[in-house]
Amino acid sequence: MLTGVTSEPPVRARQPARLPPRLRTWLVAGLSLLGGYVIATARQVAVRPPLVLGQDAVSSPQSREARVTLEQAGGPVIRIRPSGGEARTLLVFYPGGLVRPQAYEWLGRALADQGVETVIPAFPLDLAVTAAGRADALIGAYGGGKRVVIAGHSLGGAMAAQYAARHPGKVAGLILMAAYPAGNVTLKDQTLPVLSLLAERDGVAAPEDVRGGLDRLPAGTTLTVIPGAVHAFFGRYGPQRGDGQPDVNRAQAEGDILNAVQTYLTGLR
């Protein structure tokens, strides 16, 4: 038997500090809400609503008879043609960010009676930045024998400007709706006729930014202000977060937009 040896009590592992039950409950609830928000937002971006022709266009007083079809040309595209006769102009329209193509069908229908064929592509995630060169396939498929104009709303307008800048001579005109070229894009040295539409009450594309974008556009660019209109009045997709408060109704704004575009296209001829 050993003597002279004392045994020490075992050292207990330090237990981590515990949060009070009430605080723990609030923390779990907060993380659950945050996770749900992240998942819902990601799903909203990744899972886009279906393309439904005519849904956002039939009630427009400016709508004309037109042939509207959903086709494939480098991806899904809404094609809007005059109901009788051949089109003289092809309008390639890039939608705004996270906006479905059918939101701009009203404009294509209204222009069809003027001999304009409009094609509105669907982009991955509804973001034109994912395929800014998409116009190549559309011009190749539908542009034969026609004057080609590229247009776009918001982010789609910025990507349309980028396409025109990188493909000089490929298009005969550019229409920007509540949009302007990115800071690293310039068309200053081109003679391309450009129409820039500014919504007077826009809270998304700030009017001073749209006006500032003129410094990167050709000297002869036409700036047209749409009185009392907001950012979301260019497409039929409902109110937009951060937008301004309109002081005209949508029908009036759409009429002004259509008149400006028609005047511009007539001038090209």
pLDDT, averaged per 10 consecutive residues of the chain (269 residues), comes to 54 65 69 53 59 71 76 96 92 98 96 95 97 97 97 98 97 98 97 98 98 97 98 96 97 97 93
Alpha carbon 237 to chain centroid, angstroms:
11
Report the relative pairing of strands 222-226 and 147-153 from DSSP bridges.
unpaired
Say if CB 51 and CB 102 are below 8 A apart: yes
Residue 206 neighbours by CB under 8 Å, 6+ apart: none
Q: Of 66, 124, 114, 72, which is closest to residue 94 (Cα–Cα)?
A: 124
Which CATH fold would you assign to the domain 61-267? Answer: Rossmann fold (3.40.50)
pLDDT of residue 59: 52
pTM equals: 0.83
- Sorted by where each begins, the domain ranges of the chain are 61-267
> Which pLDDT does position 61 carry in this prediction?
52
